[in-house]
Structure 1
Amino acid sequence: MRPPLQNDVTKQNIEALSEFRFQLRLFLRFSETAARAEEITPLQYLLLLHVKGFPGRDWATIGELAERLQAAPNSAVALVSRCEAAGLVTRLQSAVDHRHVEVHLAARGERCLMNLVALHKIELNALRSVFSVSKLWRH
């Protein structure tokens, strides 16, 4: 990927991007701490979020989760196995295509996710202006 022309970048752009990255890291740290308070790992939280948040349905396949997590399929399988052992998710063979496994939230996973999403919603509302990317590139 070729970088854009540097003469289009201003000190204000750099300061805004620095602030954005700082606030993003604060949000991610908040998210990690909140997940641990629910007695799950940050990665388990992301898996629950992607299972329930998959567009158009309340479950996802291993491949879809691997893509959402930007992980190798075998890493996604290992994470699903750990989540299943912790009572957070269940696996079901797809009724449509028996080669695929559907990952669904278990009751404990649903409870953890709903608690965490409620906390994240509050935090994101507080950061709404910071995450307005359009203000990063004012000229």
Structure 2
Amino acid sequence: MGQVFESIGRTVTETDLVVFNNMMWITSPTHTDEEFMRASGGAVAAGTFTLSMVMGLIAATGWTHGTLLGVLAQESIRYVGPVRAGDTLHATCEVLEKRETSKPDRGVAMVRDRAYVGNDTLVLEGQRSLLMRRAVDA
């Protein structure tokens, strides 16, 4: 417990946002209209975009490769700041708790995910419960 896994950074492009918005049928001017949002700094990424990016960045750290059996729950999620085209997003995943299950080859890990832009400005924070494969003593 207490392990923290840090992702690489990934710069969000306008193309990323347009493709995601079109795929997800996101039509709100908050996310699609630069002119409408000009006074507040421009269109912001949908929260679902940010969450999806964060999950990909955390997966790319490799810490769950070969051991993650599934996500049991997204316990909480808070969007605390905007993400815009041109922002470089990076993420951390901290293991908060591990517990055994009734099956000896599985366990549950509670993790805290955080995402940052720029010079470590927090934009997303959440907790998940993960079903993980465990080593079984021979």
State TM-score, norm by structure 1: 0.27
Asked which structure has the greater CA Rg, the reply is: 1
Specify which structure has the bigger relative contact order, considering alpha-carbon pairs within 8 angstroms and separated by 6 or more residues.
Answer: 2
Give the structure with the larger strand fraction: 2
